[in-house]
Amino acid sequence: MKTLSTRKLLSVLSLATMILVVTTTVAQEEQPYLTSDELPNAVYWLPAPAQPGSSQFMYDISQYYWGKEQRLDTARANKAIQEAQYEVIDMARQFSKAFGMDISPKKTPAIYHLLERGILTIRLSATKPKATYMRTRPYAYFNEHTLVPEEEEELRTNGSYPSGHTVRGWGMALILCEINPEAQDELLKLGYEWGQSRVIAGFHWQSDVDASRMLAAACYASLHTCEAFLKDLSAAKKEFMLLKKSRM
């Protein structure tokens, strides 16, 4: 029977202690790291969405038809449907492969806790521009169905600009890249595709998605001014390294 080395045993014990401490914290209701008023105000610094008849809007229309063409690829269409998920637990499951490790409240409590609070914060940044512009979504503009018809009625009265799903997806990619830089290419690829899936599904214009990536990046920079975020980020990095060592 093989015995654990002292070093590996200490890593396992350290990880078990961390999981116990973080699990207790996660059991409490998650709160954003920053309020919407503390985040960059996209209504001020991002341009307003393109207006019908403008050259920018023609690009959005062109990309809408591009998205419909992508639906002919069954695998890509199914991917767009899967990426219509917006709850952190469902997103974490889909980002796990690119991250190189299963992400869940039980297996990676510190990482999951950071994602919960981080994504909750980043998504707040879309609230003001959505309410200000109340841009009509492409499927409503063309009176056509999306790849996820059961969500159409609810989202019809939710502004198209910017894309909340893209803000979440790009935000999650950025957070996970900082925890595991070696996986950055796969994570950023998935984060990018997450946004394009909203164009393919028919829920967003391309300019909604493009603006959302900028917004998520701006908010992620703001998170680095928050002491609570930096503390949780440090704990997530430590958890990742311990888990990585325990698998060696």
166, 198 contact by CB (below 8 A):
yes
Active-site hit among 113, 117, 208, 213: 208
How high is the pLDDT of residue 30?
87
How high is the pLDDT of residue 1?
44
How high is the pLDDT of residue 242?
97
Q: Is the pTM of this model over 0.85?
A: yes
| Closest C-alpha to 56, from 206, 204, 162 | 206
Look at the chain and report how many structural domains it folds into: 1
Token output for 41: 């105000």
213 is known as an active-site residue: no
How high is the pLDDT of residue 27?
45
Q: Evaluate whether residue 7 is within a structural domain.
A: no
Token output for 219: 């908010």
Q: Evaluate whether residue 10 is within a structural domain.
A: no
Q: Evaluate whether residue 154 is within a structural domain.
A: yes
Q: pLDDT by residue (tens digit) across 64-98?
A: 999 999 999 999 999 999 999 999 999 999 999 99
* Amino acid, single-letter form, for residue 82: Q
102 is known as an active-site residue: no
Distance of CA 91 to the CA centre of its chain: 7
Kindly report the three-state secondary structure assignment for every residue of 226-242. Answer: CHHHHHHHHHHHHHHHH
Cα separations in angstroms, 57 against 54, 60, 64, 224:
5, 5, 10, 35
Q: Evaluate whether residue 231 is within a structural domain.
A: yes
Q: Evaluate whether residue 229 is within a structural domain.
A: yes
Which residue range forms the structural domain that includes residue 126?
31-241
How high is the pLDDT of residue 20?
53
Q: Evaluate whether residue 18 is within a structural domain.
A: no
207, 56 contact by CB (below 8 A):
yes
Which domain CATH number covers 179? 1.20.144.10
Cα separations in angstroms, 195 against 15, 25, 148:
34, 31, 15
Active-site hit among 113, 137, 198, 213: 198
CA-to-CA distance for 224 and 194, rounded, in angstroms? Answer: 24
**Exposed/middle/buried for residue 154 (C-beta within 10 Å: 0-12, 13-18, 19+):** exposed
**Positions in the chain whose pLDDT score sits under 70:** 1-29
204 is known as an active-site residue: yes
Q: Evaluate whether residue 20 is within a structural domain.
A: no
Distance of CA 49 to the CA centre of its chain: 21
Active-site hit among 113, 123, 137, 204: 204
Transcribe 102-153 into DSSP letters.
---TTT-HHHHHHHHHHHHHHHHTTHHHHHHH-PPPHHHHHT---S-GGGHH
DSSP H/E element including 183: none
The vertex-173 CA angle with 240 and 76, nearest 5°, equals: 125
Q: Evaluate whether residue 15 is within a structural domain.
A: no
113 is known as an active-site residue: no
How high is the pLDDT of residue 26?
47
